[in-house]
Copies of this chain bind each other. A is one copy, B any other.
Amino acid sequence: MALKFEIRTQTKDAYGVPRARTGTLTLPGKHGQNHQIHTPQFMPVGTVGSVKGVTTSEVRNAGAEIILGNTYHLYLRPGHERIERLGGLHQFMNWDGPILTDSGGFQVFSLSELNKIDDDGVTFKSHIDGSTHRFTPEVSMEIQRALESDIVMAFDECPPYPAEPERVEAAMKRTFEWAKRGLEVPLKPHQNRFGIIQGGLSEELRMKSAAELSTLPFDGFAIGGLSIGETPELMQSMCKTTAPFLPIDKPKYLMGVGRPEDLIECVRGGVDLFDCVMPTRNARNGQVFTSTGKLNIRNAEFADDERPLDENCDCDTCRNYSRAYLRHLFAAGEILALRLNTIHNLQFYLDLMHQIREAIDQNRFDDWAENFYTNYHARKD
């Protein structure tokens, strides 16, 4: 069993470079379900076995076709072996769709107190209790095998931003060596593997990383190490430079990105898959995305506002609650506020991807994007 990726519409830019496209990614599924994912697609993040604040049925209702789980978090708590004993991550968290797990690399470098990185792997301390652990490419594969995710990410080294060119190059080379080692570890029959490109903000290294990694038998390729502090413009430019150097017939995944405008610009660059905590995290901070721009529901201006968050949205929150009520819940510290905002933001992101796919298929992506930006920048706050 292996994933199948069928491209429906493939646009090219003025130079003939392959750009925005739509397609269907079919993942076999643990029970042979043949999960279909319509690309470009956005994956809500379920860090510790829950998309924060909502149930999986709400995630599904918002339009999600695939979610992401975090290997680092699930390894530490409740433990991958426990999850395997309990029937795998899908059953544990009651999600019948496909799951992509990251490799744990990014979290080890960003969340934990790092002890030591060497060519073999990384020793780190848990951000929860300070206990010492070690990840290698092989360990990351074993954890993801136990989690039973449908897409398994290669274990990579993500250098910080900014970093010395030598550091970035070394991380890129190590990521390549680790990718090869990970491929040697057997997975479960339904699982698929994506490799990860590194190379920091050097176009040269990015292209080299893409070229090298493309020689390995991955089922898809990801652009890692972006959106870690650089400007959105730099991120978008680096993504657009890298994407065409990845195999055209395989899905392309931009990790950890981003704002609605980042999704649009990176789809334009040729990306098929995205994930980001932004819709869920910002919801919990009261920031809500709407077709006329972002708004912060804490603001007093909404105290008597009877309108829904977004008059163009038909999510449960917009159909049932006013801004005034949501503002009140947030001000009163009611946890329902976090959930209602999250439901809306998820639907906004997933609707956005739906609109993008439709626009590409109808050969009007540029017009659609221009129109989206005009409306999205209409709000002043």
Contact = CB atoms under 8 A, between A and B. Distances in A.
A55 interface: yes
A53 B55 CA distance: 13
A85 B305 CA distance: 11
Given A77-B328, A304-B85, A53 B335 contact: yes
Interface in A68-119: 73, 77-78, 82, 85-87, 92-94
Interface in A319-344: 320-322, 324-325, 327-329, 331-332, 334-336, 338-340
A52 interface: yes
Contacts of A328: 48-49, 77-78, 92
Interface-central residue, A50, A73, A327, A328, by most chain B CB under 10 Å:
A328
Contacts of A82: 303-304, 324
A335 B334 contact: no
Interface in A31-62: 48-50, 52-55
A336 B55 contact: yes
A327 B79 CA distance: 13
Number of copies: 2
A306 interface: yes
B94 A303 contact: no
Given A86-B324, A303-B78, A50 B334 contact: yes
A94 B320 contact: yes
Contact of A335 (B86, B87, B92, B335): B335
Contact of A54 (B52, B73, B92, B336): B336
Nearest to A332: B48
Interface string A160-172: 0000000000000
Contacts of A303: 78, 82
Contacts of A327: 78
A50 B94 contact: no
A324 B78 contact: yes
A86 B303 CA distance: 10
B86 A322 contact: yes
A324 B49 CA distance: 12
A331 B48 CA distance: 11
B325 A49 contact: yes
Interface in A336-373: 336, 338-340
23 contacts: A48-B328, A49-B325, A49-B332, A50-B336, A52-B334, A52-B335, A53-B335, A53-B336, A55-B320, A55-B339, A55-B340, A78-B327, A78-B328, A78-B331, A82-B303, A82-B304, A82-B324, A86-B306, A87-B306, A92-B322, A94-B321, A94-B325, A339-B339
